[in-house]
A and B are shown apart, each in its own frame.
Chain A
Amino acid sequence: AQRVTQPEKLLSVFKGAPVELKCNYSYSGSPELFWYVQYSRQRLQLLLRHISRESIKGFTADLNKGETSFHLKKPFAQEEDSAMYYCALDNKAAGNKLTFGGGTRVLVKP
């Protein structure tokens, strides 16, 4: 069965410091991975998808199939990055169902 693990429930960093959110997955096929962000009491928004290989709001994420990881990184955190972040895996073979990790709350302190 597929599974997504985000080991950190909370990450607290100072403004300007680097931040890395860990995401590990288990999946037997070729994974399709996403990062979603949820700002306070707002809807989830797509942040990144691995096939796009793009940088959004300064965030990047690289798929490492050998380590089955898709960690999210930003070199200089900003206060507006404070939010809840979810890693998600798409089960393409079964109706595009997403499996989410438990989420990591990021708090960027001034």
Chain B
Amino acid sequence: DAGITQSPRHKVTETGTPVTLRCHQTENHRYMYWYRQDPGHGLRLIHYSYGVKDTDKGEVSDGYSVSRSKTEDFLLTLESATSSQTSVYFCAIAPTAVNQPQHFGDGTRLSIL
């Protein structure tokens, strides 16, 4: 398995609180991605990064921010969590080369009450 660690694996929090999810990789891959997985929607891209301090929005970026200060870490922050952000969040990584598949972490199950 690709060296991807997501933390925490599970979290329950209340509406309005800030939440930060961490993705850590040991593969030195350039690209990192955050997705959310919801029934019927598959996985939808939230934000992605193509290098240190280089990030861009995905399909469902509203309410989320990201930061990448080091190659190995990609943080996803919910500034003020809402119940609609209850989901399973997956991080993925890919090397620089085009046409290389993405490899996924184990996911973080986030519940916002």
Q: Is the CB of B98 within 8 A of A92?
A: yes
Q: Is the CB of A95 within 8 A of B42?
A: no
Please measure, in the bound complex, the distance between the C-alpha atom of A51 and the C-alpha atom of B6, giving whole angstroms. Answer: 30
Q: Is the CB of A97 within 8 A of B33?
A: yes
Please measure, in the bound complex, the distance between the C-alpha atom of A95 and the C-alpha atom of B90, giving whole angstroms. Answer: 17
Please measure, in the bound complex, the distance between the C-alpha atom of A101 and the C-alpha atom of B37, giving whole angstroms. Answer: 11
In the assembled complex, which residues on chain B have CB atoms less than 8 Å from the CB atom of A100? 35, 42-44
In the assembled complex, which residues on chain B have CB atoms less than 8 Å from the CB atom of A44? 43, 90, 92, 104
Please measure, in the bound complex, the distance between the C-alpha atom of A9 and the C-alpha atom of B41, giving whole angstroms. Answer: 10
Task: Please tell me the size bucket of the interface on B.
Answer: 20 to 34
How many A-B pairs fall under 8 Å by CB?
A: 59
In the assembled complex, which residues on chain A have CB atoms less than 8 Å from the CB atom of B98? 92, 96
Task: Please tell me the size bucket of the interface on A.
Answer: 20 to 34
* Known A95-B50, A96-B31: A43·B43 in contact at CB below 8 Å: no
**CB-contact partner of B102 in A42, A96, A101, A102, under 8 A:** A96
Shortest Cβ distance from A96 into chain B, in angstroms? 5
Contact bitstring A10-48, B, C-beta under 8 A = 1, else 0:
000000000000000000000010101000001111100
Shortest Cβ distance from B7 into chain A, in angstroms? 14
11 contacts between A and B (CB under 8 A): A42-B106, A43-B1, A43-B104, A43-B107, A46-B101, A92-B98, A95-B31, A98-B92, A100-B43, A101-B42, A103-B42
The 5 closest A-B pairs by CB, nearest first: A100-B42, A44-B104, A100-B43, A102-B42, A46-B101
Other than the given A45-B104, A96-B102, A98-B102, 9 more pairs (CB < 8 A) read: A6-B42, A42-B106, A43-B1, A86-B42, A88-B43, A95-B31, A96-B31, A98-B33, A101-B42
